[in-house]
Amino acid sequence: MTSRERVLAAIRHQMPDRVPMDFGGTAMSQANPEFLRQMRLALGLKLPSDRDDGGSWVDEAIQMYLGTDLRFVPLNPPLAVLKDIDPAAYLKALEAKERSQAAPKDIKTTAVKHDFYLAGKSYDEIKAIAPNPPPPPKYLDWIISRAKSCRESGYATTFWVSSGFFEIGCAMRGYDQFAMDLLCETDIVKAIFDRLLVEKLSQIESIIKPLANYIDIFCFGDDFGMQNAPFMSPQTFDEIIKPYFDRHYGAVHKAAPESFLFHHSCGSVYRLLDSMIDMGVDILNPIQPLAAEMEPERLKAKGGRLCFHGGIDLQELLPFGRPEEVRSEVERQKHVLGEGGGYICAPAHALPDDVPVENILAMFGKL
């Protein structure tokens, strides 16, 4: 099997020749720049010409060494590529990067969000704000070229499209206020979601349709879960949030019927799985195994047609475990979640810099 055939078989719940493996093949399985520097050092590799020092896009040489099966197609080329295809934009981006690096860092403004665009606004004020659809991709030709190249090399392709309704609502109103809105001000929630839906449906025309013939997996995200439970009850989810995903994800499937839909949600989302399947999710990521009710046996029994992506613990195992413990857990997850297909093995989120390189090598059978 080629890597692409292997991934597509797993998504379709057919048993591939082996469980597909991913590291850096999606926006949610990339790595901290410092980790990538350490990985290059361990493998004797240099920074490749199409990657930025300080970027999180995993090197092709690293992916080939590990034997991974998915390839990420970015919305925007890294600076190392941009300098050749758009020199003016490269110089502008380089200047912005240098200004950002020179600016004093204040943890209150760089790490903690405290300014919410719609905080305190009334229903009428929110309703009066017109949708603002994002512009079409500036480098669509480059995106398609990258996707074609990955496909021709035998890999499954992924493309990150957008975040979802709930977390954007929280980012606009603040988590505390938006949580209260879900219970007490549902008209405000729907006014925000109505605006977001218009913007997201516009992406169907500008992103999904032009890329439908080149992308195997369109990726979206909305964090519904905390460590111990979903942010909201299943009833609230079904009554207020799910109808918007039904329309959005339904439109995605209609525009790209041969592609699959990947949804990222951290935390405990077991109680929402039936609804997520119904709204059109094909692949669930990141499968945070230490969150409540997210044990692989429970998920596999409940998953139905869901394919699971991730599952290798990033809270304790990968940063603090021993290589032999990593190998053992990878085999366990493959055995449980990979039975009969339906699993793509990957770390349960993008790697921070505290994960030892040897644990990733162990995960991929290279140590």
Determine what percent of the chain is predicted with pLDDT higher than 70.
96
Task: Give me the pLDDT at residue 96, please.
Answer: 87
Say yes or no to pLDDT of 109 above 60: no
Determine what percent of the chain is predicted with pLDDT higher than 90.
90
- Quote the CA–CA distance of 79 and 3 in Å, as a whole number: 28
Per-residue pLDDT tens over the stretch 7-33: 999 999 999 999 999 999 999 999 999
Per-residue pLDDT tens over the stretch 269-310: 999 999 999 999 999 999 999 999 999 999 999 877 899 999
Cβ–Cβ < 8 Å for 207, 255: no
* Helix ranges, the chain (H): 3-11, 33-43, 60-66, 79-85, 87-102, 107-110, 123-127, 140-152, 165-173, 175-184, 186-203, 209-211, 234-236, 242-255, 273-278, 296-302, 317-320, 323-337, 357-363
Task: Give me the pLDDT at residue 101, please.
Answer: 76
Per-residue pLDDT tens over the stretch 259-271: 999 999 999 999 9
**Lookup result for tokens 């009554």:** 239
Length, in residues, of the chain: 367
Cβ–Cβ < 8 Å for 68, 31: no
Domain 3-75+106-363 has CATH 3.20.20.210: yes
Question: 70-72 and 217-221: which strand pairing?
Answer: unpaired
Query: The whole model's pTM is what?
Result: 0.95
**Lookup: tokens for 350:** 């993008």
Query: Mean pLDDT across the chain, nearest whole number?
Result: 94
Say yes or no to pLDDT of 358 above 70: yes
Q: Residue 332: count other Cβ atoms within 10 Å of its Cβ.
A: 13
Question: 156-163 and 260-264: which strand pairing?
Answer: unpaired
Task: Give me the pLDDT at residue 111, please.
Answer: 53
Cβ–Cβ < 8 Å for 22, 344: yes
Task: Give me the pLDDT at residue 310, please.
Answer: 98
Task: Give me the pLDDT at residue 107, please.
Answer: 52
Task: Give me the pLDDT at residue 345, please.
Answer: 98
Task: Give me the pLDDT at residue 97, please.
Answer: 83
Amino acid identity of residue 142, one-letter, is: W
Cβ–Cβ < 8 Å for 168, 244: no
**Lookup: tokens for 120:** 């305190």
| Among the listed residues 367, 337, 300, the one whose alpha carbon sits nearest the alpha carbon of residue 65 | 367
Query: Quick check: helix, strand or coil at residue 31?
Result: strand
Task: Give me the pLDDT at residue 115, please.
Answer: 80
